[in-house]
Chains A and B, each alone.
Chain A
Amino acid sequence: MRHPWRWLTAVVIIAVVALFLYGAATNAAYGWSTYRKYLFDERISSAAWNTLQLTIWAMLLGVFLGVILSVMRLSPNPVFKSVAWVYLWIFRGTPVYVQLVFWGLFPTLYQNMQFGVPFGPTFFHINLEGLSISFILAAVGLGLNEAAYMAEIIRAGISSVPEGQFEASTALGMSWWMTMRRTVLPQAMRVIIPPTGNEVISMLKTTSLVTAVPYSLELYGRARDISGVIFQPIPLLLVAATWYLAITSVLMVGQYYLERYFSRGISRKLTSRQLEKLAAAQTGGTHL
């Protein structure tokens, strides 16, 4: 055998895992029948859908505001710069849980919203306390927090593109915006995409904190509610964990392909397609 220690450790680990699984399967407290019963329960799957929607809306808001904040931080205008800095200071300096509780209390702070001229006519007004807007508050709360982190990620990405790239594009007659779109952002993406993927996965799990708003129709809240009624917390936690793990796995696959797409051109290594082409050229292009 070439690697005896590898084999030995593998055997030991498999044995330990097998013992654990056997113990878990025979331990009634895990409540596997309850687990099976609720894994594909309609309430759970719709809660998973709500979790996914919260993630998507919060990330969309986070990326959108993050782009604006990063451009503000990179701009030469001192007013923009300091506004962005204060935003980041507040939203990165306080826990997201505390922020979510705050957004939950927002309707108590401001019962009415009026749109109009101060001390002048009102065009329309909304009674915030009367609306059930906990989903929106949860998504906005998560998104505003996320924006602060996305701003830093995007800023790092844009700053990573060498100045020569701006110059070469400008010298070819491109406008500032075309330079951004065709030259800078595609290269910045290589730096932006991996941490953004992590942020999406992290956001999926952070949505479990929105019970602070309170919003409880997402995966974790729903699982807790059901377990509160049937007095079986463990199987329902496992149900929620299974769903989180499944969604995260799908997201990780997507992240892998995105990263591969945006890293084209950075390696000297030839892709298999390029190698095939070169080999074909070498042999006079007889195959292919």
Chain B
Amino acid sequence: MTATAAGPMVRAERVCKDFGALKVLRGVTLEVQKGQVLVMVGPSGSGKSTFLRCINHLEDISAGRLYVDGELVGYRESRGKLHELPPREAAKQRREVGMVFQHFNLFPHRTALENVAEAPIHVKKTKRDRAVARAEELLDQVGLSDKAGAYPAQLSGGQQQRVAIARALAMDPKLMLFDEPTSALDPELVGEVLGVMKKLAGEGMTMLVVTHEMGFAREVADQLVFMDNGVIVESGSPRDVLTNPQHERTKAFLSKLL
């Protein structure tokens, strides 16, 4: 893993995001400490995924400040004003942050192994044989060493998502973002993906997870955040939020899930 500065891994200060007149994020403030797992829950349209996409600057932000490992994401600040970074520097920042998508988004024209080794070889300029050896190691870690030569279309959803996790890990990120990683999976395949994520959390990876899997949240999360309508309604330890929610909206949401 990359060397990191002191302080939290993610710090968001009143982050706002508008799409035209629509306000999707209306001042989100939170911190994720290094090595911790933060799970975000909330109804669809509440802004969880948008917030996650702001953290690696797939979306720009409309106001506020967002820091990863002490560094402002996607912007340069001078005299109190934000200036968007040139694409090259934004791309450089993204290399340190892994992302896993709801629909996997594997490269369909590359084998599992090629998917994992792609970014290290072409973005990081790692030597091919070293990148391939590392990719094989990562596929082994997610339990897919026998599927290295298979194309995504030949894999089940759960296998594809595990390849996607290996692909993100191949860049040696200091932070992993998971955007509803199990929502597109058949119920019997959810466990294998959550298992890999649990293992990753156990190894000390800093993770930000948007999910509806309350069991995972209870077991793995250090911090649970309930978001609704672009703001954080409630946050705390998963035990407190899940068993003793303070806000009506949290109660209403949880009662529908459980």
Contacts and interface: CB of A to CB of B under 8 A. Distances in A.
User: What are the 10 tightest A-B residue pairs by CB atom distance, in nearest-first order?
Assistant: A173-B95, A168-B105, A164-B105, A265-B151, A172-B119, A171-B99, A265-B109, A173-B94, A173-B123, A265-B108
A187 B94 contact: no
A277 to B, nearest CB: 7
Contacts of B133: none
B152 interface: yes
B85 interface: no
Interface string B140-151: 000000100111
B187 interface: no
Interface string A154-174: 000000001011011011111
Given A172-B119, A262-B109, A266-B153, 18 more contacts: A165-B105, A167-B58, A168-B106, A168-B107, A171-B99, A171-B101, A172-B118, A173-B92, A173-B95, A173-B123, A173-B124, A173-B171, A174-B91, A175-B88, A186-B109, A187-B108, A266-B108, A270-B154
Interface string B115-137: 00011001110000000000000
Contacts of B118: 172, 182
Contact of B109 (A172, A175, A264, A270): A264
A272 interface: no
A247 B99 CA distance: 50
A171 B107 contact: no
Contacts of A132: none
A279 interface: no
A287 B232 CA distance: 60
Given A182-B118, A182-B122, A270-B154, A170 B107 contact: no
Interface centre among A175, A267, A281 (most CB of B within 10 A): A175
A277 B171 contact: no
B167 interface: yes
Q: Which bucket holds chain A's interface residue count?
A: 20 to 34
A46 interface: no
Given A170-B91, A183-B107, A264 B151 contact: yes
15 contacts: A167-B105, A168-B107, A170-B94, A171-B97, A171-B99, A171-B168, A172-B94, A172-B167, A173-B94, A173-B95, A173-B124, A174-B119, A186-B109, A265-B109, A265-B111
A33 interface: no
A176 B87 contact: yes
A164 B167 CA distance: 15
Contacts of A266: 108-109, 153
Nearest to B109: A265
Interface in A105-143: none
A182 B152 CA distance: 17
